[in-house]
Structure 1
Amino acid sequence: MTDKTNKVVDIHGKPYSRIAFILVILLATFAGTLNQTALGTAIPTLMREFDISMATAQQATTWFLLVNGIMVPVSAFLMTRFKTRWLYEIAYVLLFLGLLMTSLTPADHDSWWIFIIGRCLSALAVGITGPLMQLVMVNIYPPEQRGAVMGLSGLVVGMAPAIGPTLSGWILEKDHIILGMTLSNSWRSIFIVPMIILALTVLIGPFVFKDVIPKSAGKLDWISLIYSTIGFGMFLWGFTNVAMDGWGDFKNVILPIIIGLVVIVGFILRQLRLENPFLNVRVFKNKQFTLTTILVALAMMAMMGVEMMLPTYLQNVHGLSTLDSGLVLLPGALMVGVISMVAGAAYDKVGAKRLSRIGFLILAIGTVPFMFLGMDTPTHYVTLLYALRMFAIALVMMPLTASAMSALPVETAADGTAANSTVRQVASAVVVALLTSVTQNVINNNTPAHHLMGEDSIKYAFKAAQAALDGFHVSFAIGMSFAVIGFILANFLAGKHHSKDIDVEAFEEGKAA
């Protein structure tokens, strides 16, 4: 927002530094987003330390995504009812406390629930800050600059999850001394760097954060809040239980998913009747917004289809250390940061259709070789393939996100941000739970009988490794299928468009309906 003299001002008309605001929230959101995948490399370590299975260890990610998915719809209400600066402050304090709780969890089987609660508390905060960052950018930058700015945000939403496994692998390898402080090779140390960043953010936040989102006077619809929490919560909880209980468990898997879907339908119908909805689902009547949102979800699912399983493959099948497995993924992580900025700028010139078609095509082709990885596949080959995939992800994510937000009138930006983020987070939670369960089931079904260990330990080890490999192959194949679907749907996107091309009339007709 600018005043008559072209100075950048907040909603109170007070000038502020837009660059400082963006840099601080990018850095802090990076620290929060880092936690989505930072534990990926540490899964084998957590399994040993807490004496738990892979499916249980993956709950550190699935429960994070579950709570995150529940919280994102609530963010639409919070962002337009509370002051931006204090919403940020509260969210970052919650995130810090969640990380602190997780890092202090006693390393024993009976204390795993404390670890999960800490992850859930962190997810509450990330569920607010993620959509809030998008909405802030929409409000403080004009449409012609949003592509480039969204490219910068790609450093957060793309690079942070990608660099997480490398950072945790480096930490877990050995003790490190940073700024005179000893960082031990413990899984607890994974949370120290984000906590330091967040502590600094909380301290300087009051001087940098400004109120840039206009407030609405509507009241909280508690029924919608309850519907949203139960609906998305039960749906995602059912998928979370799949890895532990399998698809045949009606009580813990099928029933929660069915209840969740029914309540979500009720939630949607209620939003369509309300004059001031809790979450304005009418934004999905805009075809361009809906299609780009679906494509963003598919890109996330395709990324997670490989990213969550690859560190475990490298450690359990190749026998790599946590550091080495992280280094294998490092070039891909750096690729996301570089290409996101390039793709954001390219979106301003050529639009999302061309970029997404090329990106999804490269993503599909780059995933095929993962389906044929073996026990003796060279690690530099895996590095090259992973970098290619992350190049494609970066080419797709930011242009599609910018396109989704540009497809709506600016007054519906909060609703669009929350809706887009909700779909993305739900998709991420579902795919992580799905792939974990599929991989675990394939491994269990193909693991050799235990008595073979005593008869021929070498043969047993070979068959056990092959069983794990079969599980990863299925996971990678599912990830590839998301990329193929994304390529097909990308062909139905509108051509190059900016805010002046928005189909406002179609949106207003949907709102009136």
Structure 2
Amino acid sequence: MASNQNHAMDIEKDYSIDIHGNKYSRWAMLILILIGTFGSMLMQTSLGTAIPTLMKDFDITMSTAQQATTWFLLANGIMVPISAYLATKFPTRWLYSTSYIILFAGMFIAYAAPTSSWGVFLAGRMLQAVAAGLTMPLMQVCLVNMFPPKQMGAVMGLGGIVIGLGPAIGPTFSGWLMSSSHNFLGIVLPASWRTMFLVPMVIVAIVTVLSFFLMRDVIPNRPVKLDLISLVESVIGFGVFLWGFTNVSSDGWTKFSTVILPIIVGIVFITAFILRQLNLKEPFLDVRVFKNKQFTLTTLILALATMAMMGVEMMLPLYLQQVHALSAFDSGLVLMPGALMMGIISPLAGIAFDKVGAKRLSILGFSILAVGTIPFLFFNTATPDHFVTTLYGLRMFGIAMVMMPLTASAMNALPVDEVAHGTASNSTARSLASAVVVALLSSVTQNVITNNLPSTSLKTTNPLDYAGKAIDGMLKGYHTSFAIGLGFAVVGFIVAFFLSNTKGAGSKAKKEIEQGGTK
């Protein structure tokens, strides 16, 4: 009865006022959130096309350069579980403003990092990840509290432009900035990997200032006590676990001290963390949301979609530059239509979810994703660039068909008061999936390439033969990476059949509200 009364109250909620009872512009705040979160998500994959340049400037190997992504995902994975506590404890505007300041600081440190200190560059990347770990889940919780259920599919679709388009457009963005000098607000920007941090810094600075005027406290706060044991278990568990995977690319899978041991220790602490949450009256991260079958399935499928996307997205720029000998800019142009496809389809998929449901869209999306990935297994030096562009665009179409409907479906499966914990749990799973797949692909691809490289003596005796066999070795490595991405798409396609075909984000809540209002 109490639950029905709460639902009856929800139907009368005025979404145009904040938690203090003050009127505010929801759309102005939404646009600011989307721009700010886009800035943090852009940083996740923007170094994709810059890796060869970073390898040269910092004098590091490919596996070391990939740490710019894996360590980003590590810090991101540590922060996401903490976001539910922070969103409940602290005012929304304060959290956003702080996140933007941290993001700006991280960009500046990476921008100014000397080429003699790779560690300084990584520190800047990790600060950027801390901000992303806060803003991404916080955005989804804000949307649920800012808009009524009937608009959730379309609004989540707009959020999909950030979550999907940001990482998708990152490689193109960085390739364009590194291609030649650019004039930005009257300032000539050099063709350098540093420029990819400078432009977003200006945007984030503007968003930070505007946040003090346009942001409002929309997430209900309460004095939640910080459980230090849970915090320590979370940081150590997720941090050490992900750190073990980040070492795979450089140390291999058999190194006990830096790979196997950290992964085992991480699993132990994560297990202890989960058990503690199940026994706390006010859990640090309420993992009981996974008792909801629909939420669990959507989270699993979202993780698979993320891994399928990263399986190609992280390696395709390297393939284009090392096998097709394209510049960073040209490789970015090849990927641009796919990024735009992601941005166009995401909001449309959110609207379609309100009408046809997550199950059908997910099955269709994974089908398109798998079909679009199969030809990647047969890429070679003669594969036309426009063919790569078309197939990449097809893959992004499939990804967009999956991501936003499933995100909306996951939020729909939970009561409003559990959304913060649901979002944090969902985002944690995706962060773990991203970190694991990047480490997996980096190590597997590097090992396959290394094992198939010709003898160095051939480089002297027959340079042309050496170059041809080296390209063949690279192709085998990239084909392996693409095959793993295909595997995740196929598994996602199968699991999608077990989903309930809910229609419209919040439709279940609406039905309960209507029932509550009639009783």
Normalised by the length of structure 1, the TM-score is 0.96
* Deviation of 1:160 (Å): 1.1
- Report the AA paired with residue 309 of structure 2: M
In the alignment, is the contact (CA less than 8 A) between 2:373 and 2:482 conserved in 1? yes
**Distance in 2 (alpha carbons) for counterparts of 1:476 and 1:7:** 45
**Distance in 1 (alpha carbons) for counterparts of 2:405 and 2:236:** 33
What percent of counterpart residues are identical?
A: 61
In the alignment, is the contact (CA less than 8 A) between 1:33 and 1:126 conserved in 2? yes
1:20-419 equivalent positions in 2, closer than 5 A: 20-108=28-116, 111-419=117-425
In the alignment, is the contact (CA less than 8 A) between 2:409 and 2:502 conserved in 1? no
- Report the AA paired with residue 347 of structure 1: F
Find out whether 1:501 has 2:508 as its counterpart: yes
Change (3 A) 1:438 1:4: closer
CA deviations on 1:31-85 (whole Å, 9 max, x unpaired) are 1110111100000000000010000000000000011001000001000000000
**Distance in 1 (alpha carbons) for counterparts of 2:123 and 2:502:** 44
Matched position secondary structure for 2:325: coil
In the alignment, is the contact (CA less than 8 A) between 2:355 and 2:503 conserved in 1? no
CA deviations on 1:219-277 (whole Å, 9 max, x unpaired) are 00000000000100111011100000001101110110011001101000000000000
In the alignment, is the contact (CA less than 8 A) between 1:183 and 1:189 conserved in 2? yes
CA deviations on 1:72-111 (whole Å, 9 max, x unpaired) are 0000100000000010000100010000000001113xx0
Change (3 A) 1:228 1:120: same
Match of 1:460 among 450, 459, 466: 466
Matched position secondary structure for 1:187: coil
* Deviation of 1:504 (Å): 12
**Distance in 2 (alpha carbons) for counterparts of 1:438 and 1:3:** 52
Find out whether 1:11 has 2:19 as its counterpart: yes
Matched position secondary structure for 1:399: helix
Tell which deviates more after alignment, 385-394 or 168-177: 168-177
- Report the AA paired with residue 53 of structure 1: T
**Distance in 2 (alpha carbons) for counterparts of 1:490 and 1:159:** 23
**Distance in 2 (alpha carbons) for counterparts of 1:206 and 1:427:** 34
* Deviation of 1:178 (Å): 2.0
Change (3 A) 1:414 1:479: same
Matched position secondary structure for 1:27: helix
Change (3 A) 1:398 1:3: closer
- Report the AA paired with residue 276 of structure 2: R
Change (3 A) 1:207 1:474: same
Matched position secondary structure for 1:294: helix
Change (3 A) 1:416 1:382: same
In the alignment, is the contact (CA less than 8 A) between 1:234 and 1:260 conserved in 2? yes
**Distance in 1 (alpha carbons) for counterparts of 2:331 and 2:503:** 41
- Report the AA paired with residue 83 of structure 1: P
Segments of 5+ residues of structure 1 without an aligned counterpart are: 506-513
* Deviation of 1:501 (Å): 2.8
* Structure 2 partner of 1:425: 431
- Count of aligned pairs between the two proteins: 503
In the alignment, is the contact (CA less than 8 A) between 2:52 and 2:62 conserved in 1? yes
CA deviations on 1:441-469 (whole Å, 9 max, x unpaired) are 00111111111100000011111111111
In the alignment, is the contact (CA less than 8 A) between 1:84 and 1:211 conserved in 2? yes
CA deviations on 1:290-348 (whole Å, 9 max, x unpaired) are 00000111111000000000000000000001111000000000000000011000001
- Report the AA paired with residue 219 of structure 2: I
* Deviation of 1:216 (Å): 2.1
- Report the AA paired with residue 455 of structure 2: A
* Structure 2 partner of 1:509: none
**Distance in 2 (alpha carbons) for counterparts of 1:258 and 1:234:** 9
- Report the AA paired with residue 310 of structure 2: M
Normalised by the length of structure 2, the TM-score is 0.95
Find out whether 1:437 has 2:443 as its counterpart: yes
Segments of 5+ residues of structure 2 without an aligned counterpart are: 1-8, 513-519
**Distance in 2 (alpha carbons) for counterparts of 1:279 and 1:5:** 27
